Amino acid sequence: MDRKRFAFLLLAAAALVLRLYQCMQVPANTGDVVRNLLYGAGVSGSSLAFAGGSLADAAPHLAWVSWSESPYNYPPVALLFFTALSFLPSSVFVAKLALTAVEGANAWLVARVSEDRWCGLIVWIAPAGVWWTSREGQFESLQSLFALLAILALRGHRTALAFGLLAVSIQTKLLSIVLLPWFLRSLWSGGAPEARSIVRAAAGFAAGCIPTCVAMWYYPAVRNVLEYSSPMTVNHFHWLPVARYMKGMPLALDIWMQVLAWVVTGIAAAGAWKSRDRFACLPALLFVAVLRTSPHALFWYWLAMIPAIAAIPDVRFRRALFAAWMLVEGYSACQLAGGPFSSQVGAGYYDFGLYTPVSEL
């Protein structure tokens, strides 16, 4: 076995062990995974209408759960995923393990989409993924899974399937929408598109939107996402590093993240300007622009950028962007090295227990 292959396997195995260890730890910074599981259990026990009200109103003894006073504020596919988990003897551990497995699949898909196994390894070992997916149970990996599958379908000229999977990804979390202009541009890659290509794309996207259409019969799914998705103003990566956005982090860490955010921005802009396929770099540039403009962008949102980077065909810009992306979210790296700090979850989550079935609440 050559040294490169040995190093690759060693890093992948070490990341697997670390991820499994983090799956067995109680979330330290966020309580979203508990809330998602509880909403899933509520829907499976009654109907989709459960997501239209607040968790605290339905179960006052669960008022300790984060954002329990608001209706469910994620798109319907995310709710469907956690509802499916609720049919298992679900616990926080099971949910985090499932999301970690999804991220493993994403690492393999990135290697396939980019034809570069080292890019897939970066996704697997990135501190942001280890911490926010395996430790905290954030579900950006689910969004990325559908987006990566959509890119593969697009490259295989399966237009309807590609646009349908992209629609499903957007209905998991909205940031996948940055891929849509590139997908639409692909219809014109060989000149004026045939009418049947446009029809297939439109039909696929419409079919992919069925989860939202169904959900809206039971509760205002779209309004909930738009109205309740930004309960606070915080963005450590904003274009303007002012006190309004920068909250709770040590100054040195804020400087680290600001500098790396500009590095990521510069690489994405250079790729869009100089790459042989400039339009393929557009999703990454759009992602950075949206994330850095929004008054509300949390650390784990960077995980949603993975498909946009994997789609870049130019190996120089793709590798450079993945390397900078892996380092930009310094909060998770610091916590992996020294333990959790800053915004830790309340005592209720420790009382809940990592292996407590949701059905017992």
CA gap 122, 349 in Å, rounded? 31
Sign of CA dihedral 127, 133, 134, 136: positive
Which residue, chain included where needed, has tokens 């090295």? 337
CA gap 246, 243 in Å, rounded? 5
Number of H helices, E strands in the chain: 19, 0
CA gap 137, 261 in Å, rounded? 24
The torsion angle over the Cα atoms of residues 186, 187, 191 and 194, rounded to 10 degrees, is: 160
- Report pLDDT digits (tens) over 22-44: 999 989 898 899 999 999 999 99
CA gap 111, 306 in Å, rounded? 11
Q: How many CB atoms lie within 10 A of CB 47?
A: 12
Residues 6+ apart with CB under 8 A from 257: 236, 237, 249, 328, 329, 330, 331
- Band (59; pLDDT cuts 50, 70, 90): confident
CA gap 154, 235 in Å, rounded? 33
Which residue, chain included where needed, has tokens 């608001």? 70
Mean pLDDT score, 74-83: 96
- Band (351; pLDDT cuts 50, 70, 90): low
Which residue, chain included where needed, has tokens 């310094």? 330
- Report pLDDT digits (tens) over 162-197: 999 999 999 999 999 999 999 999 888 766 677 788
Structure tokens at 185: 């541009």
Residues 6+ apart with CB under 8 A from 243: none
Q: Where are the domains of the chain?
A: 29-342
- Report pLDDT digits (tens) over 293-321: 999 999 999 999 999 999 999 999 999 99
Residues 6+ apart with CB under 8 A from 337: none
More confident residue, 270 or 229: 270
Strand partners, 234: 296
Sign of CA dihedral 330, 331, 332, 336: positive
